Structure 1
Amino acid sequence: MTMEPRPRAEMRASHEDREAVAERLREAAGEGRLDIDELEERLERALTAKTYGELEPLLADLPALPGRHAGLGPAPAAQEGPPLVLKGGLHGDERVGRWRVPRKVVAHGGLGGVKLDYTRADCPWPEPEVEVHGDMAGITIVVPLGWEVDTTGADSGFGGVKNKTGAEERRPGAPLLRVTGTGGVAGVTIRHPNLWERRRLRDNPPPS
């Protein structure tokens, strides 16, 4: 006799699932989406939940964060396509706002420079890669708080590869961005959003 698969709501949640939900609830409270009483009540339910069916309603009215899988459990497998190639040329190139991150980006700074901003991007990959070629104008990479950046595979060149994100703790479920290639003449800078960019994010929150 063939057994019918259990509905997702009846599947058992893991410690990691419970902690991921608790972390998102704390972030939502920090964003002003939940008050203290709501936070405490939902945290208690999250940390004692046994199934996905008990966890999922706790996040149902909260938007997912950019770059994070919205659901519980493993993210659906993403199809790896060809690398996204950006060339600064004379006038520069950029990927900012909402865009879907491919498994690999190849960025050539050229004479105009390249900017990659991941703060609103949809990233289905646990370890996306950026192959940098700083050239004459350089490359700027902006990542959200909680992402980890690995630059050990990149050569500094003349301009250097500067990781200004610090050694902060990687947020559960957040990507590890691997930077390879060379800084070229102008170099590569990886940083978190600056004051102006944070203000723009605050004034224009992502849609729920």
Structure 2
Amino acid sequence: MGENQQPTPFRPDRIRVSHDEREAVVERLNTAAAEGRLDFAELEARLDLALNARTYADLAPLTADLPSETPVEPLVVKGGMSGAARTGRWRVPARITVYGGMGSVKLDFTQTQCRLPEIVMEVHGQTGGVTIIIPDGWVAETADMEPGLGGFRDKTTSERLPGTPRIRLAGDGGTGGVVIRHPNSWERRMQRRGGG
């Protein structure tokens, strides 16, 4: 070092970020989109930047205009003894945990207005089993599902339409099994009639 050179000041914003820190920002952006704070184009652009961020300086601007984060609890749906269902129009959060219980659970996303790019679901078929119905154009990522005794069946297509979510499933089929599928012909007919 020459006489007049000062040591480079420490810059915390230049520290490299971890995978978990990137994921935390991705989750915060998804939540902001679910709350209507970001439109889909903004969300996609920010998600791309978050996933490619190297330093805190790259990550900080992506959430700077969002309110301070409050922990978002996942939606928990339990089949219990008599079963449970989410159908029609309902608000879809970024995280859902499902227990089939003894009575079974049915989650029908076909009439929801969902702008999230990704929904993370922890699913346990237990005794009653779980059925998940997603619209055409939505895709499911199911590599983390264990079949259990009841099995796991993915009857969805891999064709994702722009602006639609990816459902990431993890969990087990239990003894009742877990099925994820698109609407069947009867359900499609009911939707067209407006009776779904």
C-alpha separation between the residues in 2 aligned to 1:117 and 1:158?
24
1:139 to 130, 144, 155: 130
1:74 to 42, 62, 65: 42
Matches within 5 A, 1:67-106: 73-75=41-43, 81-106=72-97
Contact kept, 8 Å, 2:116 with 2:164, in 1: the verdict is no
1:158 aligns with 2:141: no
C-alpha separation between the residues in 2 aligned to 1:105 and 1:95?
12
Matches within 5 A, 1:185-204: 185-204=175-194
Matched to 1:82, the amino acid is E
Query: Residues 65-122 of structure 1: CA distance to partner in whole angstroms, max 9, x if unpaired?
Result: xx9x9x6732598977211111101110011100011111111101110001111112
TM-score normalised over the length of structure 2: 0.64
C-alpha separation between the residues in 2 aligned to 1:74 and 1:114?
34
Matches within 5 A, 1:40-79: 73-75=41-43
CA RMSD of aligned residues (A): 2.7
Matched to 1:196, the amino acid is W
Q: Which residue of 2 aligns with 1:110?
A: 101
C-alpha separation between the residues in 1 aligned to 2:163 and 2:151?
29
Matched to 1:139, the amino acid is V
1:178 to 165, 168, 172: 168
Shift of 1:186: 1.1
CA 1:72 to 1:148, structure 2 compared with 1: closer, same or farther past 3 Å? closer
CA 1:179 to 1:72, structure 2 compared with 1: closer, same or farther past 3 Å? closer
C-alpha separation between the residues in 2 aligned to 1:191 and 1:181?
17
Shift of 1:190: 0.5
CA 1:72 to 1:85, structure 2 compared with 1: closer, same or farther past 3 Å? closer
Aligned residues: 138
Query: Residues 114-172 of structure 1: CA distance to partner in whole angstroms, max 9, x if unpaired?
Result: 001111112232110111110111000000001110111111111111100133x2111
Matched to 2:151, the amino acid is G
Contact kept, 8 Å, 2:115 with 2:163, in 1: the verdict is no
Q: Which residue of 2 aligns with 1:20?
A: none
Matches within 5 A, 1:19-34: none
C-alpha separation between the residues in 1 aligned to 2:143 and 2:116?
19
- The runs of at least 4 consecutive aligned structure 1 residues that moved more than 3 Å come to 75-80
Shift of 1:195: 1.7
Q: 1:74 is paired with a residue of what secondary structure?
A: helix
C-alpha separation between the residues in 2 aligned to 1:75 and 1:179?
22
Give unmatched runs, 5+ long, in structure 1: 1-66
